[in-house]
Structure 1
């Protein structure tokens, strides 16, 4: 009971912090049309003299649930980033760590958002670092508060993962990389169950950073392209199609190498990557 109370207190404190951060938006000038006409110049000047409506902008700060909301949020944060880069960076990092630490689905949309706001290089670095740090926080929270509850809720999955970890102790790091490239269990469950099955935190940390790099790369590049598209026709241009092909090749190469290594060294069922073979074995 004490562990549950402690976890609830941590979630409440983190939620309060994130909510407070989203409320105190910095003051910025109102957005104007790029080329106002002569007739609208007087109206635009009058509007610019009015104080910005921070409450309206704050109401748009929420976790995106689809691509349309993602584009609106990216546009808003790009506008704020021009004058308040530190605030946007802090807000993004806080929101990402909140989702990742508490195993809340939707990190893929935040990875796409990173590419749209921060660009391909800074966005990829942010996505990789935040994914790794957030997953490690989830690992530590599970170790401190959730062991008993996770075992009670998912006994078969924990037992299956425990057996696989024991079978691959001699090449545990490559086994963890394999799980990230070809998940036999969701990433959020692996983050929570890792301390229960005695995976060292150093192996866990490095495997998350390296193993999710291709996935983060694809998401960030998608965000970069979405921020540059003006219409769906642009997506089917030869330049975009070749760019998508290059992204796919870069992302698939590490997975192909890990898969080839796994066939020789790792002890896995043939149907293990999608989890079906493992579930039948447990039953």
Structure 2
């Protein structure tokens, strides 16, 4: 009971912080003039009231690509003059989702590419994914062990057995689970402390194991921010770019899979009871 109360308190405090941060919108660009200059909502500078892009109600987690694109445009406007605020808001929202195992982090990875670009976006996505997953690990270790075991006894037992069987090459086994998830990432994050996976192994395996996934999402966000129509998306340049992204992302997984065939002890995913869910963050 005490662990549940503690977890609820952490969720409430984190939610209140994120809410207050999202409602604090500093003065920023409202919309663009035809010549590309930014117009502010200042009555002394304009005879007509400017259209507001900074309403608090528009700051919400995106649930589809259309909302994602609108949010990316809004934050790109604010980023021109309030980079620190946008960065803090994005990091806080990302860590909130990852820490409490809320689905939808893939949208935030795409958003990172659209706002911060291919390199900064990828670095930010990898760091936030790793830190957020580790926070989920620590929250589970502090408050959620008994609840996870009681709700997922078979999955926890199976994962415990596989961890013990692959103790000699545990780090590569963890990488395999990230590249070829037999269980969703949120479950791995929460169950890792229960099956005695060291936090250092966990931290490094998340950073490396989810790098290809983050890379694909971030590059998708970069392309979405650059294209204006479906014709641009299906141009030869974009198709070749997508092919290159797929090859780069698949290479680490192919190497890990080849290593796993000779070193790791793995059952058929259909028989081990861990393949019932899709990959989720």
Shift of 1:280: 9.2
Aligned to 1:45: 46
- Residue 9, structure 1, aligned to residue 9, structure 2: yes
Q: Distance in 2 between matches of 1:238 and 1:111?
A: 25
Which structure 2 segments of 5+ residues have no match?
A: 37-42, 276-281
Root-mean-square deviation (CA, aligned residues, Å) is 1.8
- Residue 226, structure 1, aligned to residue 224, structure 2: yes
Aligned to 2:279: none
Aligned to 2:39: none
TM-score, with structure 2 as normaliser: 0.92
Aligned to 1:277: 271
Shift of 1:53: 4.9
Which structure 1 segments of 5+ residues have no match?
A: 37-42
* C-alpha distance 186-29 of structure 1, shift in aligned 2 (>3 A): closer
Q: Distance in 1 between matches of 2:273 and 2:147?
A: 21
Q: Distance in 2 between matches of 1:108 and 1:212?
A: 11
Aligned to 2:136: 138
Aligned to 1:102: 100
Aligned to 1:22: 22
Q: Distance in 1 between matches of 2:102 and 2:58?
A: 20
Shift of 1:194: 0.1
* Structure 1 stretches of 4+ moved >6 Å: none
Does the 8 Å CA contact 1:30/1:47 hold for their aligned counterparts? Answer: no
1:206-256: CA deviation from partner (whole Å, max 9, x where unpaired): 000000000000000000000001001111100000000000000000000
Q: Distance in 2 between matches of 1:182 and 1:176?
A: 10
Q: Distance in 1 between matches of 2:27 and 2:80?
A: 12
Shift of 1:35: 3.5
Q: What secondary structure does 1:198 align onto?
A: coil
Does the 8 Å CA contact 1:60/1:73 hold for their aligned counterparts? Answer: yes
Q: Distance in 2 between matches of 1:63 and 1:259?
A: 35
Shift of 1:57: 2.0
Aligned to 2:246: 248
Question: Aligned pair count?
Answer: 268
Q: Distance in 2 between matches of 1:135 and 1:222?
A: 22
1:129-179: CA deviation from partner (whole Å, max 9, x where unpaired): 000000000000000000000000000000010000000000000000000
* C-alpha distance 29-124 of structure 1, shift in aligned 2 (>3 A): closer
* C-alpha distance 260-280 of structure 1, shift in aligned 2 (>3 A): closer
Structure with greater proportional helix content: 1
Q: What secondary structure does 2:72 align onto?
A: helix
1:84-106: CA deviation from partner (whole Å, max 9, x where unpaired): 00000000000000000000000
* C-alpha distance 66-280 of structure 1, shift in aligned 2 (>3 A): closer
1:246-278: CA deviation from partner (whole Å, max 9, x where unpaired): 000000000000000000000001x32xxx220
Does the 8 Å CA contact 2:101/2:186 hold for their aligned counterparts? Answer: yes
Aligned to 1:39: none
